[in-house]
Copies of this chain bind each other. A is one copy, B any other.
Amino acid sequence: MGKEMLVKSQVKYIQSLGQKKFRDQEGAFVAEGPKIVEELLKAPNLRLLNIFAGADWLAAIDPAALAGPNPPSITELRKGELERISTLSTPNQVLAIFSKPSFPPPVFENLLSLLLDGIQDPGNLGTIIRIADWFGIRQIVCTPDSADAFSSKTVQSTMGSITRVQVLYEDPGNIILEHPSVPVYAAVLEGSNVYAMERTGSGMIIIGNESKGIGAALLERVTHRITIPRTGSAESLNAAVATGIILSHLVR
């Protein structure tokens, strides 16, 4: 494999991919660290564009993983260079740029989907994507003001699930209107006990913002208000934890 040296324009390009606007424009994102990079290399629906790594990582990786009809550009980093391009507090061996994964058109009928109303924390979003993947949910619709699924912190916390769950940025209200036969669930303070719900494989589940909950317009479209019963004193549950609990009861 032909190796290049790190040049200034690459440093700038990597930094620009720290912004959502630029990631959308390029259809690309950054992943850091051997664990997530090697996980993403196995996925069939995205392409490795550039790899920046130390000699040790490059020597250990199976060359077949970096080959293919459109081989990536490979940059071997010298000591201290990873620190120049990394956004991690402890940079770790490798940084890669991938094309965003491609998916077939989303299907909302007879499947479970998540609708996220303004989830702000990248770690929460990543954890929710990982939960969706655990329960076999193929698509998540985020309001445009939600955290970006392709920020480096979110990608990291999905542990590779970002390649198996499609994350769309659209108005969830429109998706609901376009699929009037699909039940719409939301966790609210006063709703039906989620523990007593019928098992279901069809529905859209709305998860609200970490502090503001679900917006009024979206709440109007909910057909099934559900509640996770509280037996103690905490004011609320973390959004990702609530997602996991609700899904486990709807699919059980």
Contact = CB atoms under 8 A, between A and B. Distances in A.
A28 to B, nearest CB: 23
Which of A194, A235, A245, A249 has the most chain B CB atoms closer than 10 A to its own CB? Answer: A245
Nearest to A248: B245
A237 B243 CA distance: 12
B135 A238 contact: no
A31 interface: no
Given A248-B228, A248-B249, A238 B127 contact: yes
Contacts of A100: none
B236 A159 contact: yes
Contacts of A238: 127, 130-131, 240, 244
Nearest to A230: B134
A212 interface: no
A123 interface: yes
A161 interface: yes
Contacts of A251: 231
Interface string A125-136: 001001111111
Contacts of A55: none
A235 B241 CA distance: 17
A164 interface: yes
Contacts of A237: 130-131, 134, 244
Contact of A234 (B159, B194, B232, B245): B159
Nearest to A194: B248
Contacts of A234: 130-131, 133-134, 159-161, 164
A131 B241 contact: yes
A169 interface: no
7 contacts: A132-B232, A134-B228, A160-B235, A161-B234, A164-B232, A229-B252, A242-B244
Interface of A: 123, 127, 130-137, 159-161, 164, 194-195, 228-238, 240-245, 248-249, 251-252
Nearest 10 CB-CB pairs, A to B? A136-B232, A195-B252, A133-B234, A241-B244, A136-B231, A134-B234, A245-B248, A127-B238, A133-B232, A244-B245
